[in-house]
Amino acid sequence: MRSTAGRSGVAEEAGPPIAADSEVVALDGVSISYAHRGKPDVEAVRDFSLRVNRGEVMSLVGPSGCGKTSLLRAIAGLRTLTSGRIEIRTAAGQAPFAVVFQQPSLLPWRTAIQNAAYGIECMTKDRKLTRSRAAGALAMVGLAGYENYYPNQLSGGMQQRVNLARALAVQPAVLLLDEPFSSLDAQLRERMQTEFLGVIEETNATALFVTHQVDEAVYLSDRVAVMSSEPGMLRSVLTVDLPKRRDARDRRGGDFMELCDAVAATLARPAGSEDLA
Amino acid sequence: MKRMFSAPAFASTEAAEAGSAAAPALSPHVALTREPPRPRRRWVQWLSANPQERVLLWCAAIVFIGVVWQVVAVAFVRSPLFFPSFTDTVAHAWQLYVSGHSIYGDFAQSMYEAGVGFGLSLTGIPLGLLIGLSRRLMIAIEPVNSAMYALPHIALVPLAIIWFGLGVTSKAFIVFISAFFLILINVSAAVATIGRELQDVAATYSASRWRTFITIILPGSVPFIFVALQLAIGRALVGVVAAELFASNKGLGYLLGVFGNNFETADLFVAIATFAAVGAILSVLFGLIGRRFEKWRIAA
Ligand SMILES: Nc1ncnc2c1ncn2[C@@H]1O[C@H](COP(=O)(O)OP(=O)(O)O)[C@@H](O)[C@H]1O
Ligand SMILES: [Mg+2]
């Protein structure tokens, strides 16, 4: 089953599917611009094409302001496209995506489990299923026992875990994460990254992970999409040739460092040196 | 049970001490040699204290004011006509409220007028929620809202009397106008400022407009609604006094006029204090309820 998440600004007719069977997300020639009053539109993202395979974690790295959030919001249907198409392949009854926002964005009047349940509530009336899925997601992010805590009783890291649990609970075709760990301190960030890898392994989830940190991108993903800025374009997609199962020790290894260097070098290339324009 | 628990704990302390003698460099007791925090002064504890202590503190403040008032009146002003003493005022209050029962009808009248007007002005809550949802409506009602909010409502009293006569209705109308627009403005502004962020969350889970309203906008507005109600209480009382002062034959506001004209200053004080007390009690009440919802405020 297919669902077109983003709407094309130009032509509404769907046309033949662009995502192959093994692909969950397909972006074809996506451009996004912002209107500024009295000034010409600013093109934030230009002609961006990308495929995310089933069970793959794809990172999207690029300098601040290159359009990563804009792309993610477009995939999540929060922004319309100027041109191009976005397609997400879903199973019957499956939510196409769930977003883990940069800020925890929890409802302060809901407990952790009620917050985690928010997404499923919107899909089903089955209370028992809702509860069990929310509880399961909370347990997966290490918050078993904190079900009845309110956000203001939880630390920043725990709030972000609830944010993640809310998205995991709907078991979407693709998880969209926008720098979810960027507001945490370095130590906690590393721990959450490793836990995130555990969750991915457990759920076999497909994820698109936006970050501006090279080491985070390499550590978490199977492939890294590197963007250039102004306008945001895809520069290159690098494959992370590390075992799927990683832990904190791997990030001190030489292979890891080399991969980070490669990504950093791609990022640092002068404008106009796109591989896959 | 307790002893069973404390015995091994004791033993382990001894063990630690014995250990520290052998290796003094890492003695765990070093950390404990810091001075324990000084116990806080009693009155500081009071200030941050539980409800009973809070009430005690309030009573203390009232007594203090009473004493100062008494001293100023008796020792310095010495004119009951100009500035009646505290005890004088209390005596008049006793006479008006307890022995004479003459003020109850007026008290009830004013509260009735304020209650009806304030109750009707609560329609500003659902209307404000509705208007806040639509940017167009927000803009459209801006001029009306600002004008009605800024207008001194006392200016409407003569009109209210032409329209509704000298009875309850004209007073309730003034109260309604005073409170309604304040509630409307505050509630609609609250809705409009509820972060995009949470609405985006709802949108990404394909929540319907109704679900977004019920799960996010409505609870998110609750703290602002209580702030608005607290402000509106004050406005409502101003409305009652103004309308009753202007033209009426019953009510606390009417009594204010009578007492004033007759230079019954102590009675005047009692009437004023009644308004102050009612205002304070209702305001504190709404404040207390509102505080329960304060943690619902969405962090910016
Ligand atoms: N709501 C907006 N209105 C106007 N311009 C925007 C808006 N959001 C983002 N932009 C612009 O689009 C570009 C990309 O922003 P963004 O997608 O947030 O980048 P990133 O997430 O990579 O930091 C930036 O130049 C930014 O100024
Ligand atoms: Mg961003």
Q: Does B162 touch chain A (CB under 8 A)?
A: no
Q: What's the gap in Å between A33 CA and the centre of ligand 1?
A: 9
Give the nearest chain A residue to B221 (CA atoms).
A109
Distance from CA of B180 to the nearest CA of A (A): 27
| Inter-chain CB proximity B201 and A105 less than 8 Å | yes
Phi, psi for residue B39 in degrees, rounded to 5: -60, 140
Q: Among residues of chain B, what percentage have pLDDT more than 90? A: 41
Q: Do A118 and B215 touch (CB under 8 A)?
A: yes
ipTM over 0.90: no
Q: What are the beta bridge partners of residue A208?
A: A58, A176
Output the pLDDT for position B96: 87
Q: Identify the residue whose tokens are 């230079």.
A: B263
Looking at residues A80-85, what average pLDDT do you find? 88
Pocket test of ligand 1: the residue of A39, A66, A212 to mutate, having most ligand atoms within 8 Å of its CB, is A66
User: Buried (b) or exposed (e) across A209-220, using 16+ Cβ within 10 A?
Assistant: bbbbbbbbbbbb
- pLDDT the model gives residue A13: 44
Integer angstrom CA distances of residue B82 from A160, B63, B85, B265: 65, 22, 10, 7
What is the reported pLDDT for B4? Answer: 41
Q: Ligand 1, residue A32: give the atom nearest the CA.
A: 12
What is chain B's mean pLDDT, rounded?
A: 82
| Of A151, A106, A143, A108, residue with least CA distance to B202 | A106
Q: Which residues have C-beta within 8 Å of that of residue B72, sequence separation ≥ 6?
A: B83
Cis check: omega of the bond before A243, within 30 degrees of 0: no
For chain B, give every domain's residue range: 52-83, 90-296
pLDDT > 50? residue A7 = no
Q: Which residue has the higher pLDDT, A29 or B64?
A: B64
The residue nearest atom 17 of ligand 1, judged by CA position, is A67
pLDDT at B172: 95
Residue A66 Cα to ligand 1 midpoint, Å, equals: 7
Identity of the residue in A76, A105, A122 whose CB atom sits nearest the CB atom of B207: A122
pLDDT digits (tens, 9 = 90+) for B124-153: 999 999 998 888 888 998 898 888 888 888
pLDDT digits (tens, 9 = 90+) for A148-205: 999 989 998 899 999 999 999 999 989 999 999 988 888 889 888 999 999 998 888 9
The two three-digit tokens of residue A44, written as one number: 């934030």
Beta bridge partners of A39: A36
Residue with tokens 């949108």: B203
Which CATH class for the B90-296 domain? mainly alpha
Q: Are B268 and B259 in contact (CB under 8 A)?
A: yes
pLDDT, tens digit, 9 for 90 and up, residues A212-231: 899 999 999 999 999 988 88
CB contact, 8 Å: A96 with chain B?
no
Looking at the CA of residue A232, tell me the nearest atom of ligand 1.
Answer: 14
Structure confidence at residue A38 (pLDDT)? 77
Query: What does the alpha-carbon distance between residue B228 and residue B251 come to, in Å, rounded to a whole number?
Result: 26
From the CA of A232, the nearest ligand is 1
What is the percent of chain B with per-residue pLDDT over 70, rounded to a whole number?
A: 83
- Write the DSSP symbol of residue A151: G
Q: Residue A180 and residue A219: Cα distance in Å, rounded?
A: 15
Inform me whether the C-beta atom of residue B78 falls under 8 Å from chain A C-beta atoms: no
Tell me how crowded residue B144 is: count the other CB atoms within 10 A of its CB: 11
Distance A226 CA to ligand 2 centre (A): 14
**Ligand nearest the Cα atom of residue A68:** 1
pLDDT at A11: 35
* Contact state of B205 with A78 under an 8 Å Cβ cutoff: no
Range of weakest confidence among A189-203, B235-249, B286-300: B286-300
Q: Is the pLDDT of residue A44 over 60?
A: yes
Inform me whether the C-beta atom of residue A149 falls under 8 Å from chain B C-beta atoms. no
Report the distance separating Cα B237 and Cα B175, nearest Å. 7
Determine which helix (DSSP H) or strand (DSSP E) holds B143, and give its type and residue range: helix B135-150
Taking the C-alpha atoms of residue A99 and residue A110, their distance in angstroms, rounded to an integer, is: 19
**Contact status of A77 with chain B (Cβ, < 8 Å):** yes
Whether the model pTM is above 0.80: no
Q: Is A109 on the interface with B (CB under 8 A)?
A: yes
Which atom of ligand 1 lies nearest, measured to the CA of A212?
22
Higher pLDDT, B42 or A101: A101
Apex B255 CA angle, B249 and B258, nearest 5 = 90
B187/A5 Cα distance (integer angstroms) = 34
In this prediction, what percent of chain A has a pLDDT beyond 70?
Answer: 92
| Protein residue with least CA distance to atom 5, ligand 1 | A34
Closest ligand to Cα A229: 1
Beta-ladder partners of A224: A59, A238
